[in-house]
Structure 1
Amino acid sequence: MFILKLVVSVGGSMVPQCTSLLVRNLSLACHCLRYPKRNSPYSPSNSERYSSLLKSVMSSRVSSQTPETLQAEDDHIYGPIVKGQTPSSRPEMREPRTFHPFLNCEKTLETEEPESGLPVRILFDRSPGRTIVPSVSRILQQTLSPEQIFYLERWKKRMVAELGEDGFKEYTQNLFKQGKIFHSVLEDVLMSGETWEETHPPETPEYPPEVQGYMESISHILEDVTAVRATESTVQHDTLNYLGIVDCVAHYRGVLCVIDWKTSEKPKPFLRNTYDNPIQVAAYAGALNSDDNYKYQVENGLIVVAYKDGSPAHAHQLSSELMLEYWKTWLLRLEEFTEQRPSHVSSAFSEKR
């Protein structure tokens, strides 16, 4: 081993100092031989791409986790992702096989409110020998989509779990009772032939306690309802073979409408919250337009949702364009009902709708 001696001057004295430089260099060389240098896992051809990715992420003004940025960089490095065709979020709108007109060409459309008169009320024929005709509500109930059936069953199970079987039965009976009283009180109000202001002074009128909140809820709606033409009246479409009982036909803010009164414990501020109710209104209007008992036509609709707590009701207007779209949907549901209905019917359809 060779030792290199160095002489360092300290305070004027010459002091020899030995530094094992050669030994240190040899030790370092041995260490390098035992542990070879690791190669980068990234090939030279990809280094520029990863450098570009790093610069893009670090210099971006948005979060480095932004999906669009990462996907764009992935596409740049690995190429675009090959995807299958994405299904449309909205199902394709089918057309009925046979389109029956919504309006009756033999009738005229009213452009002005008619002279005042008592509303028409055609009672439902419940005689035993009458011809069996399915109702609008029965047809809609038997043509629910699997999704609608799922949510209805889930709601029922949740209510039974909270209230029990007997409690749930009592709950549904109370809802039916409240709805029946509500429609009865409304019918009395609308059959009077007077305006809401004439029949109800500023003080709060007295109603049965079950419907006091509902009537308060729709009070602002009734102020815009005029020229009532029919209430709780049967309509029937002889060609398509179905019937229903309309809640009301009247002018709402100057437009003749089929009006459907609904009660709810939960807010329904949007038309989509009313589920199949627009289809029901369109079916009523189409039947009325084809029924010879009515000398006029209706091409607009109105769904009024009243609340038990008295909060202001929501009024959902259906324009003539919307009514026509829901009429097409009704024709599809009617076709489905006809296909699944047996050739003979064992029981009469005696329910209201």
Structure 2
Amino acid sequence: MFILNRVACVGGTVVPRCTALFVRHFSACRCLRSAKRRSPYSSVDSERYSSLVKSVMSSRISSQTPDTLQAEDEHVYGPVVKAATPSSRPETRVPKTLHPFLHFKETLETEEPESGPPARIVLNRADRPLVPSVTRILQQTLSPEQIFYLERWKRRMVAELGEEGFKEYSQNLFRQGKLFHSALEDILSSCATRENTNPPETSEYPPEVQGYLESISHVLSDVRAVRATESAVYHDTLNYLGILDCVACYRGVLCVIDWKTSEKPKPFLSNTYDNPVQLAAYAGALNNDANYKYQVEHGLIVVAYKDGSPAHAHQLSSELMLEYWNTWLIRLEECTEQRSRLASTSFEQKR
């Protein structure tokens, strides 16, 4: 039933009257009904684009090229959300003992040395059979996260290439790297002993390395005063050794130079993983080694590409080298602690 209020005028007086009306089949929805909007996608020919949708959804090749394995993992699975409270976050670790990066008994030379072949001190393992190398120390002190991504990469490569294929792939990478460093040593040595500093033609070297040499050609044009190539360094106080790639002036600054090869672009220093730590370790050993009469504060990491695309050159200032030197000291302490635990465990097992 619907109550309708009506008014009537009687002798100039307004008198309200109520009239009861019985209403059937009344619907408020009918009053609100409007024309249905047409979807802009309703007229799309879905059959025409079905193949495109399937190809996009099923493609195994990403349109992005992650710079690191971690970035690729986050691209596929999403970023890792860490909900650690401020009180539980690890504090920045510092070395227990701050060994100096520079050896203050030596002076920092800025003038170019006399012309002559660069130094090449051969590593004699027989003299120091138990001294760990920089590479070995870094391998033994990888973080759990680094180990995870390296193992995942290896499993993926084995799945694609098989065990034998992955072994052959690794051997080819090692062989190409060895040929590349051998060609570089020849180029740098010949430039140091010739008045003409232009490097020789890349056609003189194996085809496998010509792309890499073309890649670093613009870097080599800025390299002068080569002082050492493929030369051994030893830190007698911290007891470690290594073989550095090169010591030379790059754009007027004396640097320890590390030549790297890569299949993926590495435009940022962060893409080079532990290479800056390795470089700081070599420089610190050189500064403490009596075979070298000069000190080096700066570093340079050059990443070469097989397709000949311009190499990325990452120059490390003295401030950055000090930061990575402290990181190296921490890794060195971790390695020493690992060796102590292993020795203690071995001793307990023999008792």
Give 1:247-262 correspondences, 5 Å limit: 247-262=245-260
Q: 1:273 aligns with which of 261, 267, 271?
A: 271
Q: CA deviation at 1:190?
A: 1.2
Residue 166 of structure 1 aligns to a residue whose secondary structure is helix
TM-score when scaled to structure 2? 0.71
Aligned equivalents of 2:20 and 2:197: distance in 1?
A: 116
1:148-297 pair list within 5 angstroms: 148-192=146-190, 193-194=192-193, 198-200=197-199, 205-297=203-295
User: What one-letter code is carried by the residue in structure 1 that aligns with 2:91?
Assistant: E
Q: Which residue of structure 2 aligns with residue 108 of structure 1?
A: 107
1:335 aligned partner: 333
CA distance in 2, matches of 1:280, 1:194: 29
Seen in structure 2, the aligned counterparts of structure 1 residues 196 and 311 have a Cα distance that, compared at 3 Å, is farther
Letter of the structure 1 residue corresponding to residue 97 of structure 2: T
Q: C-alpha offsets along residues 138-184 of structure 1, whole Å, 9 cap, x if unaligned?
A: 00000000110011011101111110110000000000000000000
Tell me how far apart the structure 1 counterparts of residues 106 and 92 of structure 2 sit (CA, whole Å). Answer: 30
Distance, in Å, in 2 between the alignment partners of 1:164 and 1:197 is 48
C-alpha distance after superposition, 1:309-341 (max 9, x if no partner): 000000000000000000000000000000001
Instruction: Name the SS of the counterpart of 1:239 in structure 2.
Output: coil
SS at structure 1 position matched to 2:159:
helix
Residues 20-42 of structure 1 show CA distances to partners (whole Å, capped at 9, x for unaligned) of 964439x9xxxxxxxxxxxxxxx
Report the aligned-residue RMSD: 2.6
Q: Secondary structure at the match of 2:204?
A: coil
Identity of aligned residues (%): 76
Please list every run of 5 or more consecutive structure 2 residues that lacks an aligned counterpart in the other structure.
1-16, 24-82, 345-351
Gaps of 5+ in 1: 1-19, 28-83, 346-353
Q: Which residue of 1 aligns with 2:21?
A: 24
Which structure: larger Rg?
A: 1
Partners of 1:320 and 1:135 in 2: how far apart? 23
In structure 2, relative to structure 1, the CA distance for the partners of 1:253 and 1:198 (3 Å cut) is closer
Looking at structure 1, the residues matched to 265 and 145 of structure 2 have their Cα atoms a distance apart, in angstroms, of 22
Q: Which whole-Å CA distance do the structure 1 matches of 2:202 and 2:189 have between them? A: 20
Aligned to 2:141: 143
Matched residues in 1 for 2:300 and 2:265: separation?
Answer: 17
TM-score norm. by structure 1 comes to: 0.71
SS of structure 2 residue aligned to 1:210? helix
Do 2:302 and 2:314's aligned partners in 1 also have CA atoms closer than 8 Å? yes
User: 2:137 touches 2:332 (CA, 8 Å); kept in 1?
Assistant: yes
Contact 2:131–2:239 (CA<8 Å) still a contact in 1?
Answer: yes
- What one-letter code is carried by the residue in structure 1 that aligns with 2:131? V
- Offset of residue 194 of structure 1: 4.3
**Aligned partner of residue 280 in structure 1, secondary structure:** helix
Does 2:323 match 1:325? yes
CA distance 1:311–1:232, change in 2 (3 Å) = same
How far apart in 1 are the matches of 2:20 and 2:176?
Answer: 103
87 and 206 in structure 1: CA distance in 2 versus 1, 3 angstrom threshold: farther
- Cα deviation code 1:160-213 (max 9, x no counterpart): 111011000000000000000000011111112146954546x65432011010
- Residues 69-95 of structure 1 deviation map (CA, whole Å, 9 limit, x = unaligned): xxxxxxxxxxxxxxx98549x963211
Partners of 1:327 and 1:130 in 2: CA distance:
23
Within 2, Cα distance between the matches of 1:194 and 1:163? 45
